[in-house]
Amino acid sequence: MRLAEHVIVGVIRAVQVRARSGALAPDRVAEEVTAELAARPASAQTPVLNATGVVVHTNLGRAPLSDAAVAALQQAAGYVDVEMDLAAGVRSKRGVGARAALLAACPAAEDALAVNNGAAALVLATTALAAGREVIISRGELIEIGAGFRLPDLIASTGARLREVGTTNRTHLADYADAIGPDTGCLLKVHPSNFRVEGFTSGVDVRDLSAVAAERGVPLVVDLGSGLLSPDPLLPDEPDAATTLAAGADLVTASGDKLLGGPQAGLLLGRADLVSRLGRHPLARAVRMDKLALAALEATLSGPAAPVVEYLHADPARLRERAEALAAAVGGEVIEHDGRVGGGGAPGVPLHGFAVRLPEAVARPLRLGTPSVVPRLHEGAALLDLRCVPESADEVLTDAVRAALGEI
């Protein structure tokens, strides 16, 4: 059975009310109930085709999972040995497989820990290292990201005190060094992610900052945000965990559902003693990952390239061919269109591609159709960028566009 009994009863009663009010003929009640139950999903979340050209689209669930991750989710849906050593028949550590996969994917890390999201990773790190003490950070890195989420508020919630150094546009190594004292819990460096400051600017790189931190015996925590584990030539200015750790960071935090392309997760990579300290902190229990996310994360790391990686590196020539085929089928116009990384990653980096230009009025029926298709609205038009649409869905997309055009 797909729906609970109380849901089925609710649908029946709603149809009966319509019949009693005269809005529905009595002889159509059974037919209407059957149709509504067949159309009623088990979840209110609607699958969509992302035709915006934004790869890590926060409003659309960020990273789409790989086939390997989806299979791992299904396998983990039942009873699994998430905290059991089957050979010994005793309790074991949680997330052993995901930890091993993280260390294999990022050998520069001595140890690794995964929690339920990126913010939780940063909260756990600053709580365990600096609760009741100071976190030293550049004023230029006190960022705000989507939905009004502000880094200073997050750090304050841990019980740590922010010690701001430098100015909005310029911070020097001496600013950090002068601020370190007996009450310093850690140095924190945060990648701006979703904005860029240009002009008369100055910052301190990880290598220089790590030398001061090591000299003064203070851990250096670097929040990367994006989840890139190793360098990507397509994104030369996007920091990655391997390079950051090699430069001397003691601990790196990142998201698993952005450039890594996995489920929502917060990754902590770095010195074994610090990761162990974080893992033993009481807060680690509150932010731990469930069995489904652990399975999906491990499969993302161990399996073939995730969709996010494929979409980022999509061949522009092939994107043009697909766009031209769609335009020929529905009567649209092919235009050059730059996609975006999204999710706060690589701001300003264009992903060269193409889109099909249609009347703006088609956007609403596209979104409300089956399947739901989300285009980009730009300069009075609806743009369909196929970068993030699986090629296997091209025919379905064409039918959806035809149906939407028919409605207008």
Mean pLDDT in residue range 157-182: 92
Amino acid 148: pLDDT = 66
Amino acid 195: pLDDT = 65
Question: Alpha helix (H) ranges present in 21-130?
Answer: 29-39, 67-76, 96-105, 118-130
Q: Which residue has the higher pLDDT, 197 or 38?
A: 38
Amino acid 150: pLDDT = 85
Amino acid 136: pLDDT = 95
C-alpha distances in Å from residue 307, one per residue of 70, 293, 300, 389: 12, 17, 10, 10
Structure confidence at residue 193 as a pLDDT band (50, 70, 90) = low
Is pLDDT at 140 greater than 90 in this prediction? no
Structure confidence at residue 384 as a pLDDT band (50, 70, 90) = very high
Give the pair of three-digit tokens for residue 210: 């790590």
265 phi and psi, to 5 degrees?
-165, 155
Give the pair of three-digit tokens for residue 328: 């020929």
Going by C-alpha positions, the residue among 130, 274, 107, 253 that lies closest to residue 189 is 253
Mean pLDDT in residue range 257-277: 97
Asked if 289 and 120 touch (Cβ cutoff 8 Å), the reply is no
Asked if 20 and 28 touch (Cβ cutoff 8 Å), the reply is no
Is pLDDT at 310 greater than 70 in this prediction? yes
Amino acid 226: pLDDT = 86
Look at residue 373 and give its three-state secondary structure.
strand
Give per-residue burial for 1-30: e unless 16+ CB within 10 Å, then b: eeeeeeebeebbeebeeeeeeeebeeeebe
Going by C-alpha positions, the residue among 175, 171, 131, 178 that lies closest to residue 155 is 131
C-alpha distances in Å from residue 84, one per residue of 96, 97, 124, 225, 330: 10, 12, 25, 32, 55
C-alpha distances in Å from residue 89, one per residue of 77, 78, 95: 21, 18, 17
Going by C-alpha positions, the residue among 344, 273, 297, 306 that lies closest to residue 116 is 297
Quickly count helices (H) and strands (E) in the chain: 16, 15
The region that residue 95 occupies, defined by phi over 0 for left and psi between -120 and 50 for alpha, beta otherwise, is left
What is the reported pTM?
0.91
Q: What tens digit of pLDDT does each residue of 55-109 get?
A: 999 999 999 999 999 999 999 999 999 999 999 999 999 999 999 999 999 999 9
Asked if 326 and 384 touch (Cβ cutoff 8 Å), the reply is yes
DSSP string, 106-164: -TT-SEEEEESSHHHHHHHHHHHHHTTSEEEEEGGG--B-GGG-BHHHHHHHTT-EEEE
Amino acid 25: pLDDT = 93
Q: Which residue has the higher pLDDT, 92 or 154?
A: 92
Mean pLDDT in residue range 145-164: 82
Amino acid 149: pLDDT = 72
Mean pLDDT in residue range 368-394: 97
Is pLDDT at 46 greater than 90 in this prediction? yes
With 0-12 / 13-18 / 19 or more C-beta atoms within 10 angstroms meaning exposed / middle / buried, residue 204 is buried
Q: What tens digit of pLDDT does each residue of 200-244 get?
A: 778 899 999 999 999 999 999 999 988 899 999 999 989 999 999
